[in-house]
């Protein structure tokens, strides 16, 4: 078990290193630099040049790469050019919001998926399963930004029951948790519902496979009720692949959240990433991508570990 962990960890670190290099070259290899985003259109050429020197952008590319690694090893993620703050501070702020969104969305998706998946797995081939299948397909084909904007239009604008975006009501001088929660509802709903499509399908298939296994037949023959078999045994076994899927779907959820955060003006990592990409704020872009990469790798590692815990057979791979 320990060997497996160490092994996975090392490969993860290697992947991260490659990732860091790719990101560095991606952001630095293009014309434009962040100078005008920072200084505005009326910046004098002298100001631009000085800024580039100050930001270390006038040095040759390989030198910037080395310095980048040096800073990284010291734990310094750099200083946002545009927003004049250490990146770690900035990212920390936005990351909390994204995490809140994820956790809410994953919880919602899990609850709905388990319910739908159970129904689908149990009524496989009959009309409830087909209806659910059609629903899943439809949800999968709907673009997130479309769904999000529709939500804003109806809940926010036409019916006025929920805020149309942002994360606090600016009029409140001390916004509390209920205000925060209100602003979370629509984004969580958007990301969560669209996650249901994929998750419930996996779960449904999983349940269906489990139900075909011998131990189910044995248990029923022994006299256990179908319900007992379903919830005591099938559920637990069917849940296992879900863990792996959750880990693997992390990048996908992040990608989805970029669009959702854009639509809802939700100040999360995806939003920050998009804004930084448009203004070429290299430190922020690199930091966020690094963060996502690291989180993905950790997520996969954790998923493997949990699997190892749940299924002893996996420990000796």
Q: Is 142 in the site for other proteins (CB under 8 A)?
A: yes
What length is written for the chain? 317
Phi-psi region of 109 (alpha: psi -120 to 50; beta: other; left: phi over 0): alpha
User: Nearer to other proteins by C-beta: 201 or 307?
Assistant: 201
For the chain, the helix, strand and coil percentages under 3-state DSSP, each to the nearest 5: 80, 0, 20
Q: Is 152 in the site for other proteins (CB under 8 A)?
A: yes
User: Nearer to other proteins by C-beta: 173 or 317?
Assistant: 173
CB-based burial label for 17 (10 Å; 0-12, 13-18, 19+): exposed
Q: Is 2 in the site for other proteins (CB under 8 A)?
A: no
Answer yes or no: are the C-beta atoms of 34 and 81 closer than 8 Å.
Answer: yes
Task: Kindly give, in sequence order, each residue whose CB lies less than 8 Å from that of residue 84, ignoring residues fewer than 6 positions away.
Answer: none
**Binding to other proteins in span 56-115, by CB under 8 A:** 82-85, 90, 108, 111-112, 114-115
- Identify the three-state secondary structure at position 79: strand
User: Nearer to other proteins by C-beta: 10 or 67?
Assistant: 10
Q: Is 200 in the site for other proteins (CB under 8 A)?
A: no
Instruction: Report d(CA 41, CA 295) in Å as an integer.
Output: 37
Taking CB under 8 A as the criterion, the residue among 194, 216, 238, 305 binding other proteins is 216
Size of the site for other proteins (CB under 8 A): 115
Q: Is 279 in the site for other proteins (CB under 8 A)?
A: yes
User: Nearer to other proteins by C-beta: 257 or 307?
Assistant: 257
Residue with tokens 């693997």, as numbered in its chain: 248
**Binding to other proteins in span 226-245, by CB under 8 A:** 226-227, 230
User: Nearer to other proteins by C-beta: 284 or 307?
Assistant: 284
Closest of 236, 203, 204, 194 to residue 125, by C-alpha: 204
Answer yes or no: are the C-beta atoms of 262 and 68 closer than 8 Å.
Answer: no
Q: Is 44 in the site for other proteins (CB under 8 A)?
A: yes
User: Nearer to other proteins by C-beta: 93 or 308?
Assistant: 93
Instruction: Report d(CA 34, CA 203) in Å as an integer.
Output: 46
Q: How far is the CB of 158 from other proteins (least distance, A)?
A: 9
| Angle 272-194-146 from CA coordinates, rounded to 5° | 70
Taking CB under 8 A as the criterion, the residue among 251, 309, 310, 311 binding other proteins is 251
**Binding to other proteins in span 156-185, by CB under 8 A:** 156-157, 160-167, 169-173, 178-179, 181-182, 185
**Binding to other proteins in span 112-131, by CB under 8 A:** 112, 114-115, 118-119, 122-126, 130
User: Nearer to other proteins by C-beta: 229 or 307?
Assistant: 229
Answer yes or no: are the C-beta atoms of 150 and 162 closer than 8 Å.
Answer: no
Torsion of CA 263, 249, 212, 214, to 10 degrees: -150
Taking CB under 8 A as the criterion, the residue among 1, 5, 6, 22 binding other proteins is 22
Q: How far is the CB of 200 from other proteins (least distance, A)?
A: 12
């Amino acid at each position: 078990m320990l060997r497996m962990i160490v092994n996975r960890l090392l490969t993860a670190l290697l992947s991260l290193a490659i990732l860091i290099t790719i990101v560095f070259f991606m952001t630095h290899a293009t014309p434009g630099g962040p100078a005008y985003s920072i200084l505005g259109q009326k910046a004098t050429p002298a100001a631009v040049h000085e800024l580039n020197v100050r930001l270390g952008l006038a040095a040759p590319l390989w030198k910037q790469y080395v310095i980048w690694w040096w800073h990284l090893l010291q734990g310094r993620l750099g200083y946002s050019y545009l927003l004049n703050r250490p990146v770690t501070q900035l990212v920390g702020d936005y990351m909390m919001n994204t995490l809140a969104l994820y956790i809410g969305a994953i919880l919602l998706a899990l609850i709905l998926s388990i319910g739908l998946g159970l129904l689908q797995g149990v009524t496989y081939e009959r009309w409830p399963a087909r209806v659910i299948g059609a629903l899943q397909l439809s949800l999968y084909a709907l673009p997130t930004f479309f769904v999000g904007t529709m939500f804003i239009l109806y809940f926010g604008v036409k019916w006025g029951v929920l805020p149309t975006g942002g994360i606090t009501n600016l009029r409140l001088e001390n916004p509390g948790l209920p205000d925060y929660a209100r602003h979370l509802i629509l984004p969580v709903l958007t990301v969560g519902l669209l996650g249901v499509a994929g998750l419930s399908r996996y779960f449904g298939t999983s349940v269906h496979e489990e139900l075909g296994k011998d131990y189910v037949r044995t248990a029923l023959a022994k006299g256990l009720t179908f319900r007992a078999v379903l919830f005591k045994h099938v559920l637990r076994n069917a849940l296992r692949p879900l863990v792996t899927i959750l880990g693997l779907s992390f990048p996908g959820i992040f990608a989805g959240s970029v669009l959702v955060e854009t639509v809802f003006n939700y100040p999360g990592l995806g939003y920050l990433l998009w804004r930084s990409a448009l203004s070429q704020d290299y430190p922020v872009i690199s930091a966020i991508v690094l963060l996502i990469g690291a989180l993905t790798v950790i997520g996969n590692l954790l998923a493997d570990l949990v699997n190892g815990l749940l299924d002893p057979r996996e420990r000796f791979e």
